[in-house]
Structure 1
Amino acid sequence: MFFKLAVAMVAAAAALVPAKAETHTVTFDNRCGRGTPTLRGQNGEVLSTGAPYTINGPLISAIAYLQTGICGENGEKCIIVETTLKNGYSSTDLSLIPPHAFQITTGFSYYNGCDGAGHDCTSANCPDAFYQPNDTNVQVGCPADNVNLAITFCH
């Protein structure tokens, strides 16, 4: 009887301890003086047009770009930041795979984990961007939980 009561008490106590929730924030620093930072989710929905975006859970296959008036709905004709922020392993990169093209300097870095890890693209021949799908060496990974991402334009 005592054993059953002890097990029930431990189970009840465990139920009261909140699970550590997963959360990620994407922030923008637009130093261009023009354009609209745009963050789109994997289904193409606009998640942000410049305000910090926080999600409770993973952010899977999102893209970000600075809409300068020439970018297509999915960043065509512009450089894009591709990201998946997920506890245990996040991955972010810059893409210039056609139909994407360089239009402004763009960079990203992680914070609240893997601080400073990231890439900057300051010209059309940026060595840290995808130009074809197998350029996987340019991806920047981060194993930290609840990592955030800062995206900077015109730095």
Structure 2
Amino acid sequence: MITEPKLENRHEQHYVAIRTYTTMQELDTAIQQLRGEVFAWLGKRGVAPAGAPFLRNLVIDMEALLEIEVGIPVASASSTDGRVTAGVLPAGQYASLVYAGWDRGIEANAALLDWGVQKGLMWDAWETEKGRAFGARLMSFLTDPNEEPDQAKWETEVAIRLADHQPW
């Protein structure tokens, strides 16, 4: 299942995360490990999550390295340490969709990007020497794997921020 894409305005969202570089082949392992570390960090400080954990794609080069953050939304992030850092997802208009099945992430991302091209949307993105960078490109993990062990039923939202100035 992949839902129909939609556009929505979002407010800024504070979060804490761990940033790393990984390959596509190591991505699943990195997500699981870092999500556990961030949840443990929050637990030690008595901070409650304010939303679903996510993967933020900062720079994408599918053939080489991905620069990512694995984060968790919080009400506010006043103090962090060296490994866990605070950030803010920018406010703005986002295109998003939801898909089911852990292994359908590439397909769902492609569907959203293709839909954006068909609609003439401009992403908050730019080319760098390390790959395509994004102002805010997220995969939010809506299903808790501790509550639903069947990966085919896991739901994930893909959301990409649009550039502030659209051609229309």
Q: Give the number of the structure whose residues are more often helix, by fraction.
A: 2
Q: Verify same fold: TM over 0.5.
A: no
TM-score by length of 2: 0.24
Max radius of gyration: which structure?
1
Q: Which of 1 and 2 has higher RCO (CA within 8 Å, sep 6+)?
A: 2
